[in-house]
Chains A and B, each alone.
Chain A
Amino acid sequence: MSEAPLLYSVEDGVARFTLNRPDSLNSFNAELHTAMRQALKAVRQDGSVRALLLTGSGRGFCAGQDLSDRNVAPGAETPDLGESLEKRYNPMLRALRDLPFPTICAVNGVAAGAGANIALACDIVLAARSASFIQAFCKIGLLPDSGGTWTLPRLVGMARAKGLTMLGDKLSAEQAERWGMIWKVVDDEALQDEALTLARHLATQPTRGLALIKRALHASADNSFDQQLDLERDLQRLAGRTADYREGVAAFMEKRQPSFKGG
Protein backbone atom coordinates (compact mmCIF):
# COMPACT_ATOMS: atom_id res chain seq x y z
CA MET A 1 0.00 0.00 0.00
CA SER A 2 1.34 3.39 -0.95
CA GLU A 3 2.01 5.99 1.74
CA ALA A 4 0.00 8.68 -0.02
CA PRO A 5 -3.03 9.77 2.06
CA LEU A 6 -5.14 9.79 -1.11
CA LEU A 7 -4.80 7.48 -4.12
CA TYR A 8 -5.76 9.24 -7.31
CA SER A 9 -6.12 7.92 -10.85
CA VAL A 10 -7.98 8.74 -14.04
CA GLU A 11 -8.94 6.09 -16.57
CA ASP A 12 -11.55 6.07 -19.37
CA GLY A 13 -13.16 9.24 -18.12
CA VAL A 14 -13.47 7.95 -14.55
CA ALA A 15 -11.45 9.60 -11.78
CA ARG A 16 -10.92 7.41 -8.72
CA PHE A 17 -10.21 8.82 -5.28
CA THR A 18 -9.31 6.32 -2.56
CA LEU A 19 -8.98 7.75 0.94
CA ASN A 20 -5.82 6.01 2.08
CA ARG A 21 -5.09 6.27 5.80
CA PRO A 22 -6.42 2.79 6.66
CA ASP A 23 -4.70 2.67 10.05
CA SER A 24 -6.85 5.58 11.25
CA LEU A 25 -10.00 4.61 9.32
CA ASN A 26 -9.13 7.18 6.62
CA SER A 27 -9.80 10.06 8.97
CA PHE A 28 -8.94 13.57 7.83
CA ASN A 29 -5.71 15.20 8.93
CA ALA A 30 -3.90 18.13 7.34
CA GLU A 31 -2.16 15.93 4.74
CA LEU A 32 -5.36 14.26 3.56
CA HIS A 33 -7.08 17.65 3.32
CA THR A 34 -4.25 18.98 1.16
CA ALA A 35 -4.32 15.89 -1.06
CA MET A 36 -8.11 16.10 -1.43
CA ARG A 37 -7.96 19.77 -2.33
CA GLN A 38 -5.34 19.15 -5.01
CA ALA A 39 -7.18 16.11 -6.39
CA LEU A 40 -10.52 17.96 -6.58
CA LYS A 41 -8.79 20.82 -8.38
CA ALA A 42 -7.11 18.37 -10.76
CA VAL A 43 -10.35 16.57 -11.76
CA ARG A 44 -12.06 19.91 -12.22
CA GLN A 45 -9.36 20.97 -14.67
CA ASP A 46 -8.89 17.63 -16.41
CA GLY A 47 -11.25 17.85 -19.34
CA SER A 48 -11.24 14.07 -19.82
CA VAL A 49 -12.97 13.32 -16.49
CA ARG A 50 -16.71 12.60 -16.78
CA ALA A 51 -17.36 10.79 -13.48
CA LEU A 52 -15.79 10.53 -10.04
CA LEU A 53 -15.67 7.43 -7.86
CA LEU A 54 -14.82 8.05 -4.20
CA THR A 55 -14.05 5.18 -1.81
CA GLY A 56 -11.82 4.24 1.13
CA SER A 57 -9.04 1.70 1.59
CA GLY A 58 -9.08 -0.91 4.35
CA ARG A 59 -12.10 -1.70 6.51
CA GLY A 60 -13.54 1.79 6.93
CA PHE A 61 -14.70 4.44 4.48
CA CYS A 62 -13.87 7.51 6.56
CA ALA A 63 -14.05 8.29 10.26
CA GLY A 64 -14.26 12.06 9.75
CA GLN A 65 -11.82 14.33 11.51
CA ASP A 66 -8.67 12.74 12.94
CA LEU A 67 -9.07 13.82 16.55
CA SER A 68 -5.41 13.19 17.35
CA ASP A 69 -4.85 16.16 15.04
CA ARG A 70 -7.10 18.17 17.35
CA ASN A 71 -6.20 17.12 20.86
CA VAL A 72 -7.27 19.82 23.27
CA ALA A 73 -4.78 19.73 26.14
CA PRO A 74 -6.15 20.90 29.50
CA GLY A 75 -5.40 24.60 29.92
CA ALA A 76 -4.44 24.94 26.25
CA GLU A 77 -6.35 27.33 24.08
CA THR A 78 -9.26 25.58 22.35
CA PRO A 79 -8.92 25.30 18.59
CA ASP A 80 -11.23 27.40 16.43
CA LEU A 81 -13.34 24.72 14.76
CA GLY A 82 -15.08 27.36 12.65
CA GLU A 83 -11.78 28.16 11.05
CA SER A 84 -11.11 24.49 10.35
CA LEU A 85 -14.46 24.28 8.54
CA GLU A 86 -13.96 27.58 6.73
CA LYS A 87 -10.46 26.72 5.52
CA ARG A 88 -10.62 22.95 4.99
CA TYR A 89 -13.95 21.15 5.08
CA ASN A 90 -16.24 23.74 3.51
CA PRO A 91 -14.09 24.38 0.42
CA MET A 92 -13.78 20.60 -0.02
CA LEU A 93 -17.54 20.02 0.26
CA ARG A 94 -18.31 22.90 -2.09
CA ALA A 95 -15.77 21.66 -4.62
CA LEU A 96 -17.15 18.11 -4.40
CA ARG A 97 -20.76 19.19 -4.70
CA ASP A 98 -20.11 21.56 -7.59
CA LEU A 99 -18.19 19.12 -9.80
CA PRO A 100 -19.74 19.32 -13.28
CA PHE A 101 -20.12 15.54 -13.60
CA PRO A 102 -21.63 12.73 -11.51
CA THR A 103 -19.93 11.71 -8.28
CA ILE A 104 -20.34 8.15 -7.00
CA CYS A 105 -19.40 7.15 -3.47
CA ALA A 106 -18.66 3.51 -2.63
CA VAL A 107 -18.96 3.35 1.15
CA ASN A 108 -16.82 0.31 1.93
CA GLY A 109 -17.14 0.39 5.71
CA VAL A 110 -17.94 2.75 8.54
CA ALA A 111 -18.65 6.36 7.55
CA ALA A 112 -18.61 8.47 10.68
CA GLY A 113 -18.81 12.18 11.43
CA ALA A 114 -17.65 14.27 8.50
CA GLY A 115 -16.96 10.98 6.68
CA ALA A 116 -20.69 10.21 6.58
CA ASN A 117 -21.53 13.67 5.30
CA ILE A 118 -18.81 13.65 2.65
CA ALA A 119 -20.31 10.38 1.36
CA LEU A 120 -23.82 11.85 1.40
CA ALA A 121 -22.61 14.90 -0.54
CA CYS A 122 -21.93 12.64 -3.52
CA ASP A 123 -24.62 12.21 -6.17
CA ILE A 124 -25.05 8.44 -5.98
CA VAL A 125 -24.07 6.53 -2.86
CA LEU A 126 -23.52 2.76 -2.85
CA ALA A 127 -22.67 1.03 0.41
CA ALA A 128 -21.35 -2.38 1.35
CA ARG A 129 -23.82 -4.47 3.32
CA SER A 130 -21.48 -4.29 6.33
CA ALA A 131 -21.04 -0.52 6.11
CA SER A 132 -22.67 1.91 8.51
CA PHE A 133 -23.27 5.63 8.96
CA ILE A 134 -22.73 7.38 12.27
CA GLN A 135 -23.43 11.06 12.98
CA ALA A 136 -20.99 10.90 15.87
CA PHE A 137 -20.71 14.64 16.43
CA CYS A 138 -23.19 14.78 19.34
CA LYS A 139 -21.02 12.34 21.33
CA ILE A 140 -18.29 14.98 21.67
CA GLY A 141 -20.44 18.07 22.04
CA LEU A 142 -20.46 19.14 18.39
CA LEU A 143 -23.07 19.49 15.67
CA PRO A 144 -22.89 17.74 12.31
CA ASP A 145 -20.85 19.64 9.75
CA SER A 146 -19.65 19.14 6.18
CA GLY A 147 -23.22 19.85 5.11
CA GLY A 148 -24.83 17.18 7.31
CA THR A 149 -27.44 19.49 8.82
CA TRP A 150 -28.49 20.49 5.29
CA THR A 151 -28.21 17.12 3.60
CA LEU A 152 -29.84 14.86 6.19
CA PRO A 153 -33.27 16.53 6.51
CA ARG A 154 -33.49 16.46 2.71
CA LEU A 155 -32.55 12.81 2.46
CA VAL A 156 -34.38 11.27 5.40
CA GLY A 157 -36.78 13.92 6.73
CA MET A 158 -36.53 16.04 9.85
CA ALA A 159 -37.61 13.42 12.40
CA ARG A 160 -34.97 10.93 11.33
CA ALA A 161 -32.38 13.65 10.86
CA LYS A 162 -32.89 14.76 14.45
CA GLY A 163 -32.80 11.20 15.77
CA LEU A 164 -29.62 10.39 13.86
CA THR A 165 -27.80 13.56 14.84
CA MET A 166 -28.90 13.84 18.48
CA LEU A 167 -28.51 10.17 19.40
CA GLY A 168 -25.44 9.47 17.27
CA ASP A 169 -26.37 5.79 16.88
CA LYS A 170 -24.99 3.59 14.15
CA LEU A 171 -27.25 3.31 11.09
CA SER A 172 -26.76 0.15 9.07
CA ALA A 173 -26.31 0.42 5.31
CA GLU A 174 -29.49 -1.62 4.81
CA GLN A 175 -31.51 0.72 7.00
CA ALA A 176 -29.97 3.70 5.17
CA GLU A 177 -31.18 2.21 1.91
CA ARG A 178 -34.67 1.59 3.30
CA TRP A 179 -34.81 5.20 4.44
CA GLY A 180 -33.78 6.47 1.02
CA MET A 181 -30.62 7.99 2.47
CA ILE A 182 -28.46 6.18 -0.06
CA TRP A 183 -29.05 4.73 -3.50
CA LYS A 184 -28.21 1.08 -2.96
CA VAL A 185 -26.71 -1.61 -0.73
CA VAL A 186 -24.35 -4.10 -2.38
CA ASP A 187 -22.71 -7.27 -1.05
CA ASP A 188 -19.30 -6.41 0.38
CA GLU A 189 -17.27 -8.31 -2.20
CA ALA A 190 -19.28 -6.85 -5.13
CA LEU A 191 -19.17 -3.21 -3.99
CA GLN A 192 -16.08 -1.95 -5.82
CA ASP A 193 -16.94 -3.72 -9.09
CA GLU A 194 -20.49 -2.47 -9.08
CA ALA A 195 -19.45 1.09 -8.21
CA LEU A 196 -16.84 1.10 -10.96
CA THR A 197 -19.32 -0.28 -13.50
CA LEU A 198 -21.75 2.49 -12.56
CA ALA A 199 -19.03 5.17 -12.79
CA ARG A 200 -17.92 3.85 -16.19
CA HIS A 201 -21.50 3.92 -17.45
CA LEU A 202 -22.04 7.47 -16.24
CA ALA A 203 -18.77 8.52 -17.89
CA THR A 204 -20.30 7.61 -21.28
CA GLN A 205 -23.47 9.63 -20.73
CA PRO A 206 -24.28 13.28 -21.68
CA THR A 207 -22.05 14.87 -19.06
CA ARG A 208 -23.23 18.45 -19.57
CA GLY A 209 -26.82 17.34 -19.19
CA LEU A 210 -26.00 15.42 -16.02
CA ALA A 211 -24.21 18.46 -14.61
CA LEU A 212 -27.30 20.57 -15.33
CA ILE A 213 -29.49 17.97 -13.58
CA LYS A 214 -27.27 18.34 -10.51
CA ARG A 215 -27.46 22.09 -10.65
CA ALA A 216 -31.24 22.06 -10.87
CA LEU A 217 -31.70 19.53 -8.06
CA HIS A 218 -29.29 21.38 -5.76
CA ALA A 219 -31.02 24.67 -6.41
CA SER A 220 -34.46 23.18 -5.74
CA ALA A 221 -33.79 23.21 -2.00
CA ASP A 222 -33.80 27.00 -1.94
CA ASN A 223 -36.26 27.74 -4.74
CA SER A 224 -40.00 28.19 -4.92
CA PHE A 225 -41.89 26.18 -7.54
CA ASP A 226 -42.03 29.25 -9.78
CA GLN A 227 -38.31 29.95 -9.42
CA GLN A 228 -37.55 26.32 -10.16
CA LEU A 229 -39.68 26.43 -13.33
CA ASP A 230 -37.68 29.47 -14.44
CA LEU A 231 -34.45 27.67 -13.63
CA GLU A 232 -35.53 24.61 -15.60
CA ARG A 233 -36.25 26.89 -18.55
CA ASP A 234 -32.79 28.49 -18.36
CA LEU A 235 -30.91 25.25 -17.88
CA GLN A 236 -32.90 23.46 -20.59
CA ARG A 237 -31.94 26.26 -22.95
CA LEU A 238 -28.30 25.41 -22.24
CA ALA A 239 -28.89 21.66 -22.43
CA GLY A 240 -30.62 22.08 -25.79
CA ARG A 241 -27.47 23.62 -27.23
CA THR A 242 -25.22 20.68 -26.43
CA ALA A 243 -23.90 18.34 -29.09
CA ASP A 244 -25.02 15.44 -26.91
CA TYR A 245 -28.64 16.55 -27.14
CA ARG A 246 -28.45 16.60 -30.93
CA GLU A 247 -26.78 13.20 -30.89
CA GLY A 248 -29.40 11.83 -28.50
CA VAL A 249 -32.27 12.93 -30.72
CA ALA A 250 -30.53 11.77 -33.91
CA ALA A 251 -29.78 8.34 -32.42
CA PHE A 252 -33.40 8.01 -31.31
CA MET A 253 -34.72 8.91 -34.78
CA GLU A 254 -32.22 6.59 -36.46
CA LYS A 255 -32.99 3.78 -33.96
CA ARG A 256 -29.32 3.38 -32.98
CA GLN A 257 -27.23 3.66 -29.82
CA PRO A 258 -26.14 7.25 -29.16
CA SER A 259 -22.45 8.07 -28.80
CA PHE A 260 -22.16 10.89 -26.26
CA LYS A 261 -19.02 13.00 -26.05
CA GLY A 262 -19.95 14.88 -22.89
CA GLY A 263 -20.18 18.29 -24.62
Chain B
Amino acid sequence: MPSYLIVEGPSRGVLRITLYRPEALNALTTALLAELAETLVAAEQNAEVRAVVITGSQRAFAAGADIKEMAAHDLVGMLEDPRQRHWASIARFSKPIVAAVNGFCLGGGCELAMHADILIAGEDSRFGQPEINLGIMPGAGGTQRLVRAVGKALATQMVLTGEPISAHRALEAGLISEITQPELAVERALAVAETIAAKAPLAVRLAREALHKAEDTDLTTGLRFERHAFTLLAGTRDREEGIRAFQEKRPATFTGH
Protein backbone atom coordinates (compact mmCIF):
# COMPACT_ATOMS: atom_id res chain seq x y z
CA MET B 1 0.00 0.00 0.00
CA PRO B 2 1.97 3.04 -1.19
CA SER B 3 1.47 6.18 0.82
CA TYR B 4 0.51 9.36 -0.99
CA LEU B 5 0.62 11.57 2.06
CA ILE B 6 3.32 12.82 4.37
CA VAL B 7 1.77 13.38 7.79
CA GLU B 8 3.73 15.33 10.40
CA GLY B 9 2.84 16.35 13.91
CA PRO B 10 0.77 17.38 15.64
CA SER B 11 3.17 20.08 16.72
CA ARG B 12 1.82 23.07 18.65
CA GLY B 13 -1.64 21.64 18.01
CA VAL B 14 -1.23 21.51 14.22
CA LEU B 15 -1.21 18.39 12.08
CA ARG B 16 0.55 18.91 8.77
CA ILE B 17 -0.55 16.84 5.79
CA THR B 18 1.43 17.01 2.56
CA LEU B 19 -0.03 15.52 -0.62
CA TYR B 20 2.83 13.56 -2.15
CA ARG B 21 2.58 12.19 -5.67
CA PRO B 22 5.36 14.21 -7.29
CA GLU B 23 5.33 12.13 -10.46
CA ALA B 24 1.73 13.19 -11.22
CA LEU B 25 1.50 16.77 -9.83
CA ASN B 26 -0.41 15.31 -6.87
CA ALA B 27 -3.36 14.21 -9.02
CA LEU B 28 -5.98 12.92 -6.59
CA THR B 29 -6.33 9.19 -7.09
CA THR B 30 -9.04 7.38 -5.17
CA ALA B 31 -6.32 5.83 -3.01
CA LEU B 32 -4.95 9.27 -2.13
CA LEU B 33 -8.42 10.59 -1.27
CA ALA B 34 -9.10 7.49 0.84
CA GLU B 35 -5.84 8.01 2.70
CA LEU B 36 -6.64 11.69 3.28
CA ALA B 37 -10.13 10.83 4.56
CA GLU B 38 -8.70 8.18 6.93
CA THR B 39 -6.04 10.58 8.18
CA LEU B 40 -8.69 13.18 8.98
CA VAL B 41 -10.92 10.62 10.71
CA ALA B 42 -7.96 9.72 12.93
CA ALA B 43 -7.18 13.41 13.50
CA GLU B 44 -10.81 13.91 14.54
CA GLN B 45 -10.27 11.48 17.44
CA ASN B 46 -6.92 12.93 18.46
CA ALA B 47 -7.39 15.68 21.05
CA GLU B 48 -3.82 16.86 20.41
CA VAL B 49 -4.87 17.97 16.92
CA ARG B 50 -6.57 21.35 17.01
CA ALA B 51 -6.05 22.41 13.42
CA VAL B 52 -4.79 20.89 10.18
CA VAL B 53 -2.65 22.30 7.41
CA ILE B 54 -2.94 20.64 4.01
CA THR B 55 -0.32 21.41 1.42
CA GLY B 56 1.11 20.03 -1.81
CA SER B 57 4.44 20.80 -3.44
CA GLN B 58 5.95 24.01 -4.77
CA ARG B 59 4.83 23.02 -8.29
CA ALA B 60 1.34 21.84 -7.52
CA PHE B 61 -1.13 21.70 -4.68
CA ALA B 62 -3.01 19.15 -6.78
CA ALA B 63 -3.52 19.27 -10.52
CA GLY B 64 -6.86 17.46 -10.60
CA ALA B 65 -8.29 13.99 -10.37
CA ASP B 66 -6.50 11.00 -11.87
CA ILE B 67 -7.76 10.98 -15.47
CA LYS B 68 -6.71 7.38 -16.19
CA GLU B 69 -8.71 6.19 -13.24
CA MET B 70 -11.73 8.26 -14.20
CA ALA B 71 -11.67 7.03 -17.80
CA ALA B 72 -12.11 3.48 -16.57
CA HIS B 73 -15.54 4.29 -15.07
CA ASP B 74 -18.78 3.86 -16.99
CA LEU B 75 -22.10 5.26 -15.80
CA VAL B 76 -22.66 2.49 -13.29
CA GLY B 77 -19.07 2.74 -12.15
CA MET B 78 -19.59 6.47 -11.49
CA LEU B 79 -22.72 5.79 -9.46
CA GLU B 80 -20.80 3.39 -7.24
CA ASP B 81 -17.63 5.48 -7.14
CA PRO B 82 -16.22 5.31 -3.59
CA ARG B 83 -14.75 8.83 -4.04
CA GLN B 84 -18.05 10.40 -2.98
CA ARG B 85 -17.72 8.72 0.42
CA HIS B 86 -14.18 10.06 0.82
CA TRP B 87 -15.21 13.61 -0.14
CA ALA B 88 -18.13 13.46 2.30
CA SER B 89 -15.80 12.26 5.01
CA ILE B 90 -13.35 15.13 4.35
CA ALA B 91 -16.23 17.62 4.39
CA ARG B 92 -17.43 16.28 7.76
CA PHE B 93 -14.11 16.95 9.51
CA SER B 94 -14.88 19.21 12.46
CA LYS B 95 -11.55 20.98 13.02
CA PRO B 96 -10.20 23.95 11.08
CA ILE B 97 -8.27 23.20 7.92
CA VAL B 98 -5.84 25.70 6.45
CA ALA B 99 -4.68 24.96 2.90
CA ALA B 100 -1.32 26.23 1.69
CA VAL B 101 -1.48 26.35 -2.08
CA ASN B 102 1.39 26.69 -4.53
CA GLY B 103 1.43 26.10 -8.26
CA PHE B 104 -1.42 24.23 -9.90
CA CYS B 105 -4.65 24.00 -7.97
CA LEU B 106 -6.97 22.58 -10.59
CA GLY B 107 -10.10 20.46 -10.88
CA GLY B 108 -10.33 18.09 -7.92
CA GLY B 109 -7.33 19.92 -6.45
CA CYS B 110 -9.23 23.21 -6.45
CA GLU B 111 -12.25 21.40 -5.01
CA LEU B 112 -10.09 19.94 -2.24
CA ALA B 113 -8.60 23.37 -1.48
CA MET B 114 -12.16 24.74 -1.19
CA HIS B 115 -12.87 22.11 1.49
CA ALA B 116 -10.38 24.02 3.64
CA ASP B 117 -11.66 26.77 5.91
CA ILE B 118 -8.84 29.14 5.05
CA LEU B 119 -6.71 29.26 1.90
CA ILE B 120 -3.27 30.82 1.85
CA ALA B 121 -1.68 30.83 -1.59
CA GLY B 122 1.70 31.58 -3.06
CA GLU B 123 1.55 34.16 -5.79
CA ASP B 124 2.54 31.60 -8.41
CA SER B 125 -0.58 29.54 -7.80
CA ARG B 126 -3.36 29.09 -10.33
CA PHE B 127 -6.89 28.02 -9.54
CA GLY B 128 -9.20 26.47 -12.09
CA GLN B 129 -11.87 23.92 -12.92
CA PRO B 130 -10.71 22.58 -16.31
CA GLU B 131 -13.10 19.58 -16.29
CA ILE B 132 -15.15 21.11 -19.12
CA ASN B 133 -12.16 20.63 -21.46
CA LEU B 134 -12.55 16.87 -21.02
CA GLY B 135 -16.26 16.87 -21.75
CA ILE B 136 -17.12 16.55 -18.08
CA MET B 137 -17.75 18.98 -15.22
CA PRO B 138 -16.65 19.50 -11.62
CA GLY B 139 -18.02 16.71 -9.45
CA ALA B 140 -16.78 17.40 -5.92
CA GLY B 141 -18.21 20.79 -5.07
CA GLY B 142 -16.57 22.83 -7.82
CA THR B 143 -19.80 24.29 -9.10
CA GLN B 144 -21.22 24.90 -5.62
CA ARG B 145 -18.33 26.07 -3.45
CA LEU B 146 -16.84 28.19 -6.21
CA VAL B 147 -20.06 30.20 -6.68
CA ARG B 148 -20.20 30.79 -2.94
CA ALA B 149 -16.54 31.79 -2.83
CA VAL B 150 -16.15 34.02 -5.89
CA GLY B 151 -19.69 34.84 -7.02
CA LYS B 152 -21.70 33.71 -10.01
CA ALA B 153 -20.03 35.57 -12.88
CA LEU B 154 -16.46 34.50 -12.23
CA ALA B 155 -17.44 30.98 -11.16
CA THR B 156 -19.47 30.53 -14.34
CA GLN B 157 -16.61 31.81 -16.49
CA MET B 158 -14.14 29.48 -14.78
CA VAL B 159 -16.34 26.40 -14.98
CA LEU B 160 -17.56 26.93 -18.55
CA THR B 161 -14.26 28.05 -20.14
CA GLY B 162 -12.00 25.84 -18.04
CA GLU B 163 -9.48 28.70 -17.85
CA PRO B 164 -7.63 29.13 -14.56
CA ILE B 165 -7.23 32.36 -12.59
CA SER B 166 -4.13 33.79 -10.94
CA ALA B 167 -3.53 33.97 -7.21
CA HIS B 168 -4.07 37.74 -7.34
CA ARG B 169 -7.41 37.26 -9.04
CA ALA B 170 -8.32 34.60 -6.47
CA LEU B 171 -7.50 37.04 -3.68
CA GLU B 172 -9.63 39.80 -5.21
CA ALA B 173 -12.50 37.38 -5.68
CA GLY B 174 -12.34 36.08 -2.11
CA LEU B 175 -11.35 32.51 -2.92
CA ILE B 176 -8.22 32.87 -0.81
CA SER B 177 -7.60 35.07 2.21
CA GLU B 178 -3.89 35.78 1.84
CA ILE B 179 -1.26 35.79 -0.84
CA THR B 180 2.40 35.18 -0.03
CA GLN B 181 5.74 34.67 -1.69
CA PRO B 182 5.62 31.10 -3.03
CA GLU B 183 8.33 29.91 -0.62
CA LEU B 184 6.45 31.30 2.39
CA ALA B 185 2.94 29.96 1.81
CA VAL B 186 3.36 26.84 3.95
CA GLU B 187 5.06 28.78 6.72
CA ARG B 188 2.25 31.33 6.78
CA ALA B 189 -0.42 28.60 6.75
CA LEU B 190 1.28 26.88 9.70
CA ALA B 191 1.42 30.21 11.56
CA VAL B 192 -2.29 30.83 10.98
CA ALA B 193 -3.14 27.26 12.01
CA GLU B 194 -1.00 27.54 15.16
CA THR B 195 -2.75 30.79 16.08
CA ILE B 196 -6.11 29.03 15.79
CA ALA B 197 -4.80 25.95 17.63
CA ALA B 198 -4.02 28.15 20.64
CA LYS B 199 -7.64 29.35 20.96
CA ALA B 200 -10.38 27.63 22.96
CA PRO B 201 -11.22 24.50 20.93
CA LEU B 202 -14.95 24.59 21.70
CA ALA B 203 -15.22 28.24 20.69
CA VAL B 204 -13.33 27.48 17.47
CA ARG B 205 -15.55 24.51 16.73
CA LEU B 206 -18.84 26.33 17.28
CA ALA B 207 -17.70 29.47 15.47
CA ARG B 208 -16.67 27.32 12.53
CA GLU B 209 -20.06 25.56 12.52
CA ALA B 210 -21.80 28.93 12.58
CA LEU B 211 -19.69 30.09 9.65
CA HIS B 212 -20.62 26.94 7.74
CA LYS B 213 -24.29 27.61 8.47
CA ALA B 214 -23.95 30.99 6.80
CA GLU B 215 -23.25 29.29 3.48
CA ASP B 216 -26.12 26.92 3.85
CA THR B 217 -29.13 28.61 5.30
CA ASP B 218 -31.26 31.77 5.46
CA LEU B 219 -30.21 34.68 7.68
CA THR B 220 -32.88 34.14 10.36
CA THR B 221 -31.93 30.49 10.85
CA GLY B 222 -28.25 31.39 10.73
CA LEU B 223 -28.64 34.09 13.38
CA ARG B 224 -30.61 31.70 15.58
CA PHE B 225 -27.89 29.07 15.24
CA GLU B 226 -25.24 31.64 16.06
CA ARG B 227 -27.10 32.71 19.21
CA HIS B 228 -27.50 29.08 20.37
CA ALA B 229 -23.81 28.41 19.81
CA PHE B 230 -22.88 31.64 21.58
CA THR B 231 -25.06 30.68 24.54
CA LEU B 232 -23.63 27.17 24.64
CA LEU B 233 -20.14 28.59 25.18
CA ALA B 234 -21.35 30.28 28.36
CA GLY B 235 -21.18 26.86 30.00
CA THR B 236 -17.50 26.28 29.25
CA ARG B 237 -14.51 26.64 31.58
CA ASP B 238 -12.47 28.07 28.72
CA ARG B 239 -14.85 31.03 28.53
CA GLU B 240 -14.22 31.81 32.21
CA GLU B 241 -10.50 31.46 31.66
CA GLY B 242 -10.56 33.63 28.54
CA ILE B 243 -12.42 36.46 30.24
CA ARG B 244 -10.38 36.25 33.43
CA ALA B 245 -7.08 36.22 31.54
CA PHE B 246 -8.21 39.32 29.66
CA GLN B 247 -9.05 41.12 32.91
CA GLU B 248 -5.78 40.03 34.52
CA LYS B 249 -3.84 41.08 31.41
CA ARG B 250 -2.21 37.68 30.93
CA PRO B 251 -2.33 35.12 28.12
CA ALA B 252 -5.16 32.57 28.50
CA THR B 253 -4.52 28.85 28.81
CA PHE B 254 -7.34 26.90 27.20
CA THR B 255 -8.03 23.26 27.96
CA GLY B 256 -10.95 22.46 25.68
CA HIS B 257 -13.49 22.24 28.51
Which residues of A come within 8 Å of B, CB atoms?
A: 231, 234-235, 237-238
Which residues of B come within 8 Å of A, CB atoms?
A: 180-181, 183-184
Extra pairs beyond A234-B181, A235-B181 (7, CB < 8 Å): A231-B181, A234-B180, A234-B184, A237-B184, A238-B181, A238-B183, A238-B184
Inside 8 A of A234's CB, which chain B residues have their CB? Answer: 180-181, 184
What's the minimum C-beta distance from A83 to chain B, rounded to whole angstroms?
A: 15
Q: Residue on A with the closest CB to B183?
A: A238
What's the minimum C-beta distance from B84 to chain A, rounded to whole angstroms?
A: 39
Inside 8 A of B183's CB, which chain A residues have their CB? Answer: 238
Inside 8 A of B184's CB, which chain A residues have their CB? Answer: 234, 237-238
Q: In the complex, A142 Cα to B183 Cα: how many Å?
A: 40
Q: Residue on B with the closest CB to A215?
A: B181
Q: In the complex, A235 Cα to B181 Cα: how many Å?
A: 8
What's the minimum C-beta distance from A30 to chain B, rounded to whole angstroms?
A: 25
Inside 8 A of A237's CB, which chain B residues have their CB? Answer: 184
The 3 closest A-B pairs by CB, nearest first: A234-B181, A238-B183, A234-B184
Jot down 9 A-B pairs with beta carbons below 8 A, ordered by A: A231-B181, A234-B180, A234-B181, A234-B184, A235-B181, A237-B184, A238-B181, A238-B183, A238-B184
Inside 8 A of A235's CB, which chain B residues have their CB? Answer: 181
What's the minimum C-beta distance from B206 to chain A, rounded to whole angstroms?
A: 33
What's the minimum C-beta distance from A16 to chain B, rounded to whole angstroms?
A: 28
Inside 8 A of B181's CB, which chain A residues have their CB? Answer: 231, 234-235, 238
Q: Residue on B with the closest CB to A234?
A: B181
Q: Residue on B with the closest CB to A235?
A: B181
Inside 8 A of B180's CB, which chain A residues have their CB? Answer: 234
Inside 8 A of A238's CB, which chain B residues have their CB? Answer: 181, 183-184
Q: In the complex, A231 Cα to B183 Cα: how many Å?
A: 13
Q: In the complex, A231 Cα to B181 Cα: how many Å?
A: 8
Q: Residue on A with the closest CB to B124?
A: A98
Q: Residue on B with the closest CB to A219?
A: B123
Q: In the complex, A72 Cα to B241 Cα: how many Å?
A: 78
What's the minimum C-beta distance from B168 to chain A, rounded to whole angstroms?
A: 9
Q: In the complex, A238 Cα to B181 Cα: how many Å?
A: 9
What's the minimum C-beta distance from A72 to chain B, rounded to whole angstroms?
A: 29
What's the minimum C-beta distance from B200 to chain A, rounded to whole angstroms?
A: 30
Q: In the complex, A61 Cα to B147 Cα: how many Å?
A: 50
Q: In the complex, A237 Cα to B191 Cα: how many Å?
A: 15
Q: In the complex, A11 Cα to B122 Cα: how many Å?
A: 33
Q: In the complex, A234 Cα to B182 Cα: how many Å?
A: 10
Q: Residue on A with the closest CB to B184?
A: A234
What's the minimum C-beta distance from B150 to chain A, rounded to whole angstroms?
A: 22
Q: In the complex, A231 Cα to B184 Cα: how many Å?
A: 11
Q: In the complex, A231 Cα to B123 Cα: how many Å?
A: 12
Q: In the complex, A237 Cα to B181 Cα: how many Å?
A: 11
Q: In the complex, A57 Cα to B181 Cα: how many Å?
A: 38
Q: Residue on A with the closest CB to B181?
A: A234
Q: Residue on B with the closest CB to A237?
A: B184
What's the minimum C-beta distance from B240 to chain A, rounded to whole angstroms?
A: 38
What's the minimum C-beta distance from A216 to chain B, rounded to whole angstroms?
A: 10
What's the minimum C-beta distance from B181 to chain A, rounded to whole angstroms?
A: 5
Q: In the complex, A41 Cα to B149 Cα: how many Å?
A: 35
What's the minimum C-beta distance from A234 to chain B, rounded to whole angstroms?
A: 5
What's the minimum C-beta distance from A152 to chain B, rounded to whole angstroms?
A: 24
What's the minimum C-beta distance from B248 to chain A, rounded to whole angstroms?
A: 33
What's the minimum C-beta distance from A74 to chain B, rounded to whole angstroms?
A: 35
Q: In the complex, A231 Cα to B180 Cα: how many Å?
A: 9
Q: In the complex, A238 Cα to B180 Cα: how many Å?
A: 12
Q: Residue on A with the closest CB to B188?
A: A234
Q: In the complex, A140 Cα to B224 Cα: how many Å?
A: 68
What's the minimum C-beta distance from B45 to chain A, rounded to whole angstroms?
A: 36
Q: In the complex, A14 Cα to B181 Cα: how many Å?
A: 27
What's the minimum C-beta distance from B130 to chain A, rounded to whole angstroms?
A: 18
Q: In the complex, A237 Cα to B184 Cα: how many Å?
A: 9
Q: In the complex, A235 Cα to B183 Cα: how many Å?
A: 9
Q: In the complex, A237 Cα to B187 Cα: how many Å?
A: 11
Q: In the complex, A238 Cα to B58 Cα: how many Å?
A: 15
What's the minimum C-beta distance from B48 to chain A, rounded to whole angstroms?
A: 29
What's the minimum C-beta distance from A241 to chain B, rounded to whole angstroms?
A: 9
Q: Residue on B with the closest CB to A212?
A: B181
Q: In the complex, A65 Cα to B184 Cα: how many Å?
A: 40
Q: Residue on B with the closest CB to A241?
A: B183
What's the minimum C-beta distance from B120 to chain A, rounded to whole angstroms?
A: 13
What's the minimum C-beta distance from A127 to chain B, rounded to whole angstroms?
A: 33
Q: In the complex, A231 Cα to B182 Cα: how many Å?
A: 12
Q: In the complex, A235 Cα to B182 Cα: how many Å?
A: 10
Inside 8 A of A231's CB, which chain B residues have their CB? Answer: 181
Q: In the complex, A234 Cα to B188 Cα: how many Å?
A: 11
Q: In the complex, A219 Cα to B181 Cα: how many Å?
A: 11
Q: Residue on B with the closest CB to A238?
A: B183
